[in-house]
């Protein structure tokens, strides 16, 4: 079994730096597009055989060291009782954005086994099909990131409604964050029980806050979820996007692994995060538009700097872009394996 990824998560010695790519199962792969041609995005997420199929594609095609469950971060939000749609050409939309207490009252803390059985089923199929070839990562959106979608009703530019609630009705905001923290914790625990061997918490929109607001209004919930999840014994990765200015706060999350976006030098990030955490990252997804030789140079630079941390898992600094040439993603994975511990 290739457990390099799991050992790196724990800060153990590894023969080479493991690599996987955020959104590695996705539109840049013709094999993914072939599956998606016959099914809409949400149905794909909810059809275990198909979700498992696209999860496995990058393991075969790229040779990455981990698979990550194919799903959407808003799946548990739908299970909480909101109506979710993915209109063509737009981002996700949630009907009736959360703006008052009765709206939060109506939200349930879903039971993953009962309310999202397809997630459990997908994980079971995957563990069987992977035959321990590589570990399987589960994931969830972080409470704050899910809250932004629920309060804004979808994506946002300035997150005014979210910050207004945080600033003007902190009791309501905390009530929502409490329910979301329970949901995230229970959702990831169920994924772990079903068989995922590590979990990643995506805090995609944490970056829109000041360090002060992040520390006061968001970090306590992240810490609570992570400390609960740690009892399950699997590595926990926390990826807070666009947070170059908040790493001092983020190091307190309690996560085993901290994901780093590409907007900061990984060496600088490691200095801020200290020696107690493993780092994951941080190639600019657009660097995959470079030539193979230049991709290799950037890989070497990140590998070299990554050695300063307790451990390093190679990844992009954000999700792989649909326009990415597959051969360059393959070249990236090869370069990480080839040059790690040799730079």
Closest approach, Cβ 17 to a second copy, in A, equals 19
265 noted as active-site residue:
no
Q: Which residue, 108 or 160, has its beta carbon nearer to a second copy?
A: 160
Of residues 222-251, which lie at the interface with a second copy (CB under 8 A)?
242-246, 248
Q: Of residues 7, 10, 27, 99, which has the active-site annotation?
A: 27
Q: Does residue 99 interact with a second copy by CB under 8 A?
A: no
Concatenated DSSP letters for 283-341? E-GGGGGS-HHHHHHHHHHHHHHHTTSS-EEEEESSPPPTT--HHHHHHHHHHHHHHTT
10 noted as active-site residue:
no
Q: Of residues 3, 65, 127, 149, which has the active-site annotation?
A: 149
127 noted as active-site residue:
no
Binding mask 149-178 for a second copy (x = CB under 8 A): ---------xxx--xx--xx----------
**Of residues 254, 302, 87, 121, the one with CA closest to residue 195:** 121
Q: Does residue 262 interact with a second copy by CB under 8 A?
A: yes
94-130: string of b/e by CB count within 10 Å (b at 16+)? beebbbeeebbeebebbebeebbeebbbbbebbbeeb
Q: Does residue 343 interact with a second copy by CB under 8 A?
A: no
Q: Of residues 7, 72, 99, 251, which has the active-site annotation?
A: 72
* Contacts (Cβ under 8 Å, ≥6 apart) of 338: none
Q: Which residue, 187 or 314, has its beta carbon nearer to a second copy?
A: 314
Q: Does residue 89 interact with a second copy by CB under 8 A?
A: no
Closest approach, Cβ 321 to a second copy, in A, equals 6
Instruction: Report the distance separating Cα 90 and Cα 85, nearest Å.
Output: 10
Q: Does residue 268 interact with a second copy by CB under 8 A?
A: yes
Q: Does residue 304 interact with a second copy by CB under 8 A?
A: no
Q: Of residues 7, 10, 16, 36, which has the active-site annotation?
A: 36
Q: Does residue 263 interact with a second copy by CB under 8 A?
A: yes
Q: Does residue 208 interact with a second copy by CB under 8 A?
A: yes
Lookup: tokens for 111:
């039971």
Q: Which residue, 65 or 242, has its beta carbon nearer to a second copy?
A: 242
Residue count at the site for a second copy (CB under 8 A)? 36
Closest approach, Cβ 172 to a second copy, in A, equals 14
Instruction: Report the distance separating Cα 38 and Cα 20, nearest Å.
Output: 27
251 noted as active-site residue:
no
- Backbone φ, ψ for residue 154 (5° rounding): 155, -155
Residue with tokens 């590695």: 24
23 noted as active-site residue:
yes
Closest approach, Cβ 323 to a second copy, in A, equals 6
Q: Alpha helix (H) ranges present in 29-169?
A: 30-36, 41-46, 48-62, 75-79, 101-106, 112-115, 117-130, 143-152, 160-168
Strand order in the sheet with 136-141: 67-68, 136-141, 198-203, 236-240, 257-259, 278-283, 312-316
Closest approach, Cβ 164 to a second copy, in A, equals 5
Closest approach, Cβ 192 to a second copy, in A, equals 32
Instruction: Report the distance separating Cα 277 and Cα 279, nearest Å.
Output: 6
Length of the chain: 343
Q: Does residue 23 interact with a second copy by CB under 8 A?
A: no
Q: Does residue 216 interact with a second copy by CB under 8 A?
A: no
For CA atoms 223, 187, 106, 94, give the dihedral sign: positive
Residues that bind a second copy (CB under 8 A): 158-160, 163-164, 167-168, 207-213, 242-246, 248, 262-265, 268-269, 284-287, 289-290, 294, 301, 321, 323
**Residues annotated catalytic, as ranges:** 23, 27, 36, 72, 149
């Amino acid at each position: 079994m290739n457990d390099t990824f799991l050992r790196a998560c724990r800060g153990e010695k590894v023969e080479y730096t493991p690599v996987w790519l955020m959104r590695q199962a996705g539109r840049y792969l013709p094999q993914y597009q072939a599956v998606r041609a016959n099914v809409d995005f949400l149905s794909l997420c909810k059809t275990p055989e198909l979700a498992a199929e696209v999860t496995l594609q990058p393991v075969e095609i790229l040779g990455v060291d981990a698979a990550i469950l194919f799903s959407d971060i808003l799946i548990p939000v739908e299970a909480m009782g909101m109506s979710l749609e993915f209109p063509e050409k737009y981002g996700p939309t949630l009907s009736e954005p959360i703006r008052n207490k009765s709206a939060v009252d109506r939200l349930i803390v879903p039971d993953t086994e009962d309310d999202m059985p397809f997630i459990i089923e997908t994980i079971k199929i995957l563990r069987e099909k992977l035959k321990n070839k590589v570990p399987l990562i589960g994931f969830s959106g972080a409470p704050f990131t899910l809250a932004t979608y629920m309060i804004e009703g979808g994506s946002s530019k300035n997150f005014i409604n979210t910050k207004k609630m945080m600033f003007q009705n902190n009791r309501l905001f905390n009530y929502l964050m409490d329910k979301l923290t329970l949901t995230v914790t229970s959702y990831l625990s169920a994924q772990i029980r079903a068989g995922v061997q590590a979990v990643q918490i995506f805090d995609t929109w944490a970056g829109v806050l000041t360090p002060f607001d992040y520390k006061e209004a968001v970090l306590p919930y992240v810490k609570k979820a992570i400390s609960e999840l740690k009892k399950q014994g699997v590595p926990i990765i926390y990826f807070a996007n666009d947070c170059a200015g908040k790493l001092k706060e983020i190091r307190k999350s309690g996560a085993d692994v901290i994901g780093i976006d590409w907007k900061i030098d990984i060496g600088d990030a490691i200095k801020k995060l200290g020696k107690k955490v493993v780092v994951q990252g941080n190639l600019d997804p657009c660097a995959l538009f470079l030539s193979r030789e230049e991709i290799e140079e950037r890989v070497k630079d990140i590998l070299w700097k990554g050695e300063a941390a307790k451990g390093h898992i190679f990844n992009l600094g954000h999700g792989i872009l649909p326009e990415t040439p597959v051969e360059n993603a393959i070249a990236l994975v090869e370069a990480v394996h080839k040059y790690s511990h040799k730079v």
